[in-house]
Chains A and B, each alone.
Chain A
């Protein structure tokens, strides 16, 4: 019974994937491409298939249309492997991206970890037809997170502040952190941190959140814009030595489509976005189940951007 169900589910998933991959490579995006070139000034905003990215796309789209730019939305397209080709063939023109992973996508040897270094490497690695506008301070990346109580008790602001107390603390994270250079070995090498124990949990998932919340671990690896950080009042420790490569949110756009109005509107958004703001907005969408378009509109109105 159980096995049959699993088998059925797997078959269904496989079938859906097959259908989805057919779709993305041929039908909707390709036809979108041909209409876009015909209509000239329209900007087609795409997004990856996760809530935060779709929300950022809504923010971009909202700001552009309030400045009189004609906007079309193609959200939740898929992974980077799908939407970058779509950007290159003109099916979409603009998408919210992250500096570190995007630099890695175009240049496997990208090495910088600090925000400006990564941004420079990214600009150098981009193909001629694409460009990025200003990066925002908002980042969606690995981080070490503690509870508000722990942060207040030991006056913690950055990962480096953990140094004197780490030997009494339990660190939680994904199993691969035990050996990964950006995990336990990196914390030791860069910050000279040796925790009492490392407890392998999951990758920024519910186990990690629960274990931190209930005090089974004292510090844990979560992604910086994880809505559970805002929901539980967790504190993200700064990473002054850039153990985790910078992942600033940045608009990736087709070079030929950029006008002064567009770059001014998008750069104004980047100037207003930081990690805490983005985390709170994502929480509204994921935890409070609000419509991303509404959350985007509220953000733009509040900041005088739309």
Chain B
């Protein structure tokens, strides 16, 4: 079996063309990044606000917890049957798939953001206020940088989940690596199905490693305990 998967993956013909692996990886990343960006635009400001003010914490924490329990495939069908009569063309397929992935990505990003801000040392916050900073300045110059490690790990875990789940876009006939899973299953082409699964896992790992490097480079060394050379 492993040999057949390797044979499928190393067949050059499977990498090229409109339904080749390269095209599918690009589609998969397009869906994933678009969903992640939308989710981040919603979840980061909301999380910072909740962490900074403490307002709406109970409601949001519980709503987010509940959102994690939504079954993605069920939501996908529900969204399609609701949206399809209201939208025309390709967007009728993209919107439901996007919605599902955004709903999936919001909880980890949101909880990373508010937990990060909430967990900032009260002493640091007090010092900032003592220096005469106003609320938004405290948020921007102290709370945000200090919360960055948790915000970024929220994004990392959201990205991982989105890449793994973006395969369901193919249920609605969209592209992405899910095509190999669904098309392979439909004709009992096991090497194709298994290769699709392997590709999703590899893609998720590569992206996660990349984000880990980003995290390492943007987080203040003062927070991670890695002091660089002192420049004068």
Please determine whether B183 and A200 come into contact, CB atoms closer than 8 angstroms: yes
Number of A residues near B (Cβ < 8 Å) is 19
How many angstroms from the CA of A214 to the CA of B86 in the assembled complex? 8
- Which of B54-62, B77-85, B104-112, B138-146 lies on the face that meets chain A? B77-85
Stretch touching chain B among A53-61, A107-115, A169-177: A169-177
Partner of B92, one of A174, A175, A178, A214: A214
What chain B residues lie within 8 Å of A172 (beta carbons)? 173
Q: Is B172 an interface residue (CB 8 A)?
A: yes
Nearest-neighbor residue (CB-CB) of A215 within chain B? B88
Could you give 24 example pairs across A and B, Cβ below 8 Å? A2-B69, A2-B71, A175-B183, A175-B186, A175-B187, A176-B186, A179-B183, A179-B187, A199-B173, A200-B183, A200-B186, A201-B172, A201-B173, A206-B77, A207-B80, A210-B80, A210-B84, A210-B85, A211-B84, A214-B88, A214-B92, A216-B84, A216-B88, A216-B89
A201's nearest neighbour on chain B, judged by CB, is B173
Q: How far is the CB of A175 from chain B (nearest CB, A)?
A: 4
| Bound form: Cα–Cα A199–B89 in Å | 12
- Interface status of B114 (Cβ within 8 A of chain A): no
Residue of A nearest to B88 (CB): A215
- Would you call B93 an interface residue if the criterion is a C-beta within 8 Å of the partner chain's C-beta atoms? yes
From residue B88, how far is it (CB to closest CB) to chain A in Å? 6
Does A180 interact with chain B (Cβ within 8 Å)?
Answer: yes
Specify which chain B residues have a CB less than 8 angstroms from the CB of A216 in the assembled complex. Answer: 84, 88-89, 92-93
Query: Which interface residue of A176, A180, A213, A216 has the most chain B CB atoms within 10 A?
Result: A216
7 closest pairs, A vs B, by CB? A176-B186, A175-B186, A199-B173, A214-B84, A200-B173, A175-B183, A176-B187
The CA-CA distance from A180 to B183 in the complex, in Å, is 11
Interface residues of B in 174-204 (CB under 8 A from A): 179, 182-183, 185-187
A178 to B175, CA, bound (A): 14
List the A side residues contacting B77 at CB < 8 Å. Answer: 206
Q: Which B residue sits closest to A199, measured CB to CB?
A: B173
Report how far A207 CA is from B171 CA in the complex, Å: 9
In the complex formed, the residue of B with least CB distance to A216 is B92
Q: Are B81 and A206 in contact (CB under 8 A)?
A: yes
Residue of A nearest to B93 (CB): A216
- Nearest residue (CB) in A for B90 is A216
Chain A 145-179 near chain B by CB (<8 Å), digits 1 or 0? 00000000000000000000000000010111011
In the complex, A214 Cα to B186 Cα: how many Å? 25
Question: Which among A178, A199, A200, A210 is the interface contact of B81 at CB below 8 angstroms?
Answer: A210
Instruction: Give Cα distance in the complex from A213 to B89, angstroms.
Output: 12
Within the complex, what minimum Cβ distance (angstroms) separates B94 from chain A? 11
Contact A178 B85 (CB under 8 A): no
Looking at A2, A174, A200, which has the most chain B CB atoms within 10 Å of its CB? A200
A175 to B80, CA, bound (A): 18
Q: Which chain B residues border A201 with CB–CB below 8 Å?
A: 172-173
Additional 12 contacts, C-beta under 8 A, given A2-B71, A214-B92: A175-B182, A175-B185, A175-B186, A179-B187, A200-B170, A200-B186, A207-B172, A207-B173, A210-B85, A211-B84, A215-B88, A216-B84
A175, A179, A210: most-surrounded residue (chain B CB, <10 A)? A175
Please name all residues of chain A whose beta carbon is closer than 8 Å to the beta carbon of B92 when the two chains form the complex: 214, 216
A207 to B81, CA, bound (A): 8
Enumerate B152-171 residues with CB–CB distance to A below 8 Å.
Answer: 170-171
A217: nearest chain-B partner, CB-CB: B173
- Contact, CB under 8 Å: B173 / A214: no
Return B98 CB to nearest CB of chain A, in Å: 16
Residues of B within 8 A of A180 (CB): 187
B85 pairs with A214, CB closer than 8 A: yes
**In residues 40-91 of chain B, which contact A (Cβ within 8 Å)?**
69, 71, 77, 80-81, 84-85, 88-89
Q: How far is the CB of A8 from chain B (nearest CB, A)?
A: 16
Q: In whole angstroms, how far apart are the Cα atoms of A201 and B183 in the complex?
A: 10
Say how far A11's CB is from chain B's closest CB, in angstroms.
20
A160 to chain B minimum Cβ distance, whole angstroms, is 25
Q: Give the shortest distance, in Å, between B90 (CB) and chain A (any CB).
A: 8
Give the distance in Å from the alpha carbon of A180 to the alpha carbon of B189 in the complex: 12
Contact with B along A197-241 (1 / 0, CB 8 A): 001110000110011011110000000000000000000000000
Q: Which residues of A contact B71 (CB under 8 A)?
A: 2
For residue B187, which residue of chain A has the nearest CB?
A176
Chain A nearest CB, measured from B39 CB (Å): 22
| Distance (whole angstroms) from the CB of B111 to the closest CB of chain A | 20
Q: Chain A nearest CB: distance from B156 CB in Å? A: 25
The complex places the Cα of A200 from the Cα of B186 at a distance, in Å, of 10
Query: Given the complex, which residues of B lie within 8 Å of A200, measured CB to CB?
Result: 170, 173, 179, 182-183, 186
Nearest chain B CB to A207 CB, angstrom units: 7
What's the nearest-Cβ distance from chain B to residue A208, in Å? 10
CA distance A199 to B174 in the complex (A): 8
